[in-house]
Amino acid sequence: MARLKFLCDSDRCIECNACVTACKNEHEVPWGINRRRVVTINDGKPGERSISMACMHCTDAPCAAVCPVACFYGTEDGLVLHDKDLCIGCGYCFYACPFGAPQYPRVGNFGGRGKMDKCTYCAGGPQQDSTPVEYIQYGSNRIAEGKLPLCAEMCSTKALLAGDGEIIASIYKERVQQRGYGSGAWGWRTAYREELPA
């Protein structure tokens, strides 16, 4: 069975932020929340690298381990989804996540943050697939339509890969064989506890 993963080829990312915009537009993500963002290190200096970052849908996800109301659940193809009807907005998942993926819609009095929002891998949530109520709570469900996350499909330089982990790893491997290893498959060791042999 396929294990769905993201892979950001940072040697190709040009920090255009199309993935961020596509995600916000596709899911009508409210102001103040970015399910995906582009992080640039050594900006303007030699060795500058950009990485498109969102929930990596970790194996043994730390967010799920710390959630006091068990609102996270894993699908059989490796996605880490969450139930907004259970979330109490405590923020523990934000502290646990190594990628800073969980986002909160507001900053209120007494630390109230609202219900957590994060990347769903364009796979919706625990409401019936492709229903209006699923769209309101979790955004569009492209996986149910037989598609892949829009951020990856929109990437003009093909830096962001999504899909079956084995297939995207083989695509990345082909690239590495042609051009050299570069900066590596960023985040794979943390998220999936594995190296990508090249």
Partner 1 sequence: MTEQNDSRLNARRRFFGALGLAAMAAPAAAIEADGGTGGLPPQRESEAEKRKPRYRETDHVRAFYRTNRY
Say how far apart CA 91 and CA 60 lie, in whole Å. 19
Q: Taking CB under 8 A as the rule, does residue 158 contact partner 1? A: yes
Q: Return the residue of 84, 90, 92, 96 that touches partner 1, per CB under 8 A.
A: 84
By C-alpha distance, which of 63, 15, 65, 17 is closest to 40? Answer: 15
* Stretch of 18-26, 39-47, 54-62, 128-136 contacting partner 1, by CB under 8 A: 128-136
Q: Measured from the CB atom, is 62 or 105 closer to partner 1?
A: 105
Q: What residues contact 98, with CB distance under 8 A and at least 6 apart?
A: 58, 62, 190, 191
* Residue closer to partner 1, measured from CB, 32 or 98: 32
> How far apart are the C-alpha atoms of 104 and 91, rounded to whole Å?
8
Contact flag: residue 117 with partner 1 (CB under 8 A): yes
- Residues in Cβ contact with 63 at an 8 Å cutoff, skipping those fewer than 6 apart: 72, 80, 92, 93, 96, 97, 101, 102
- Kindly list the residues in this chain that would bind partner 1 in the complex (CB under 8 A): 1-2, 4, 30, 73-77, 79, 81, 84-85, 87, 105-106, 108, 114-115, 117, 123, 126-129, 131-134, 136-137, 143-144, 146-148, 152-153, 158, 161, 163-164, 167-168, 171, 174
